[in-house]
Structure 1
Amino acid sequence: MWPRFLSSSYPMERHYFLVPKFALSLIGFYPEQKRTWALRAWSFLNFFILSYGCYAEAAFGIQQIPNNIALALDALCPVASSILSLLKMLAIWWYREEFKWLIQRIRKLTEQQQSERKLGYKRHCYTLATRLTTLLLFCGFCTSTSYSVRHLLDNILRHSHGKDWVYETPFKMIFPDPLLRLPLYPVIYALVHWHGYITVVCFVGADGFFLGFCLYLTVLLHALRDDVCELLAVDSIQLVPTALEEARIVRKMTRLVDRHNEIADLTERLSGVMVEITLGHFVTSSLIIGSSVVDMLLFSGVGIVVYVVYTCAVLTEILLYCLGGTYVTEACTDLARSAFASHWYGHSVRVQKMTLLLITRAQRVLIIKIPFFSPSLETLTSILRFTGSLIALAKSVI
């Protein structure tokens, strides 16, 4: 049975950035939150926990490389995601005002699309964004929880065989010895466990922002396509529009061109605030997926389950980026194709020129511009191929 918020009958206005808002609000980093002193203190505490966790995991993994490569990879694999989540947290905080403006502006533009067909576009894209980000949140939650479950199961098995409890954290980290002893050990254990959840909500919030913006821009492009085709349609009874009718079409066409320009401007501004997040994710994606698969091959028992879930979470992350970019690209192409297939040639020269200008601009597809990469399903295929090569290399070395 689906939760109600995952169904298409859930109110559309509540679907808008539902999961990213929930995730980032937990740690005090959602851009629309009122920045009280209590919220600032809470967000700084979460930043400090994540930052120290990144350092402690990296230090432990580097220290173990000469001694035990499997143990080193067990620490370095999750630390890559933690460092990337720290980057996403900093980017969301740094661009918080720009994110807030984009959220409010795109919300206003999508709320203006109220025809039955446009509401269908909104329902499909809004529901898809909520479902995919919920899937990512679920995979991330299971991954972080599985690390603690693995540690607890290992210690329970040790205790059942008469061995002492191992006082270590669920994620492999370096801590001063007094912190890993009673009575402070439970507090440190809880903080490290929360560190895992901070990592999860950071990438759910940032990745959910990217997918959400892409799908909401897709709604605006589909609505623009319908308005252009409806405006340029010629009544079969009146094959030649009158001068008065042509003047009305010119005025409306001007507004549609302005709408297209604004969508292009929103895409540019989105590229500006997402460039560090997206670039960091694409650069490290192959390394993270490859290392998690190698860990899966090295471990047995519960360790395999941990890295199977972790691999699913990382693959879901990169899928969200590539799927969002593909939706925007296809919406731009469909706008150009539909406008060209309309009856634009049956209007005045001025309308024809405006239509051809819109077609030309639509053919230059809107993409979230990042250096070296373009988010699309083709890029996902290339990343998976390169990941396969890294896995084969790692297996031959190990």
Structure 2
Amino acid sequence: MLTKAVPEQQDWNALTDEDFRAIFRDWVDQNCPAHLRFMRKQRPVFDEVAEWYHALARKGWLSPVWPQEHGGMGLNAAKHIVYVEEWARLGCPRIPDHGIGLTGPLLIEFGTEAQKDFFLPRILSGEHVWCQGYSEPNAGSDLASLRTSAVRDGDEFVINGQKIWTTLAHCANWILLLARTDKEAAKPQNGITVLLVDLTSPGVVVRTIPNLREEADFCEVFFDNVRVPAKNVVGEVNAGWALAKAVLGHERIFLGAPSRPEYALTRLEMLAEDRGAFDDPAFRSRFAKLRLDLYDLGSAFERFAKVLREGGTLGADVSVLKLFCTELYQRITEETLAVAGEEARYYDDLPLGDGGHVDAMNLFLDARAPAIFGGSNEIQRNILAKAVLGLPSR
């Protein structure tokens, strides 16, 4: 319950977390369209969620961590965690968010005034929809080995190369691109530059890659002598590696947020009750372990969140959160298929006796991806081994 009335525009960080949570939840309940809640599709394209995107923009709540002078909410880490938690709990659809979460913060911190004036309003209006051009066929987890090149030619750079696993590139019109501008640099990280590239430029080809659920949310993007104005370089030439890492900030914690396994465990419980699985002592034991693991994940998440709330910085040990979360999510969805039995082969939602449904196979397939994106779980284990345990590379 709110302890005081709040004006439309204000310092949200001055509120208690409970008051901010109540305000955000109430507004979402009234403004997020019902047909977009808990969407089966995890990464909808812009047109599918445009009404929600524009509703957030009109409210001024589209960009939670941008400063208010740039049209954001100016949330600190603690309030941002509340924002994300309630977003997931209320089933808000994911919006194409590379402009909000990546390009915008990068420009706010490192961009020129001209870049901020041009690009930031167009992100908020939805005129520019962004994607992230980082990974390449031979440069995924080892991103520093990227080979897409950008060669200076007067007031332009000429780009050649390929990006892959570029999420939602087929519905984007701009890409935040990492390209190699110095092939002779002593360290490969030192020869990389960040460029803002218009995907409607001649020489750009985007091809979709269907995922396990036959949704086209991944793409490969080809650049064939694509000319980009030099004014679209962000920061300094050859200094893009530091910029690419800088925008991650405290958002790394959200790769281990318990929202996905929480939702999956709820669906498992619904299916188990409907199918009588709780009559089996062995299942009750497995379910209890999953629920206890979820409690442990929530406690671990809260431990890292507390660091941010107190103004601290997350260390390499936050990688354990992603490992715990993604592997728990997979175990829950595997158990859901076991309860579904022969029906597990169906991709369509499984009907329940009370008129509800459970998206068993959809969740199982969705659980495969989080262990790969955002730095694969193998990479997270290497980080923990080297940076936390101090183990040698060989």
Q: TM-score, normalised by structure 2?
A: 0.29
Greater share of strand residues, 1 or 2?
Answer: 2
Structure label with greater radius of gyration: 1
Q: TM-score, normalised by structure 1?
A: 0.29
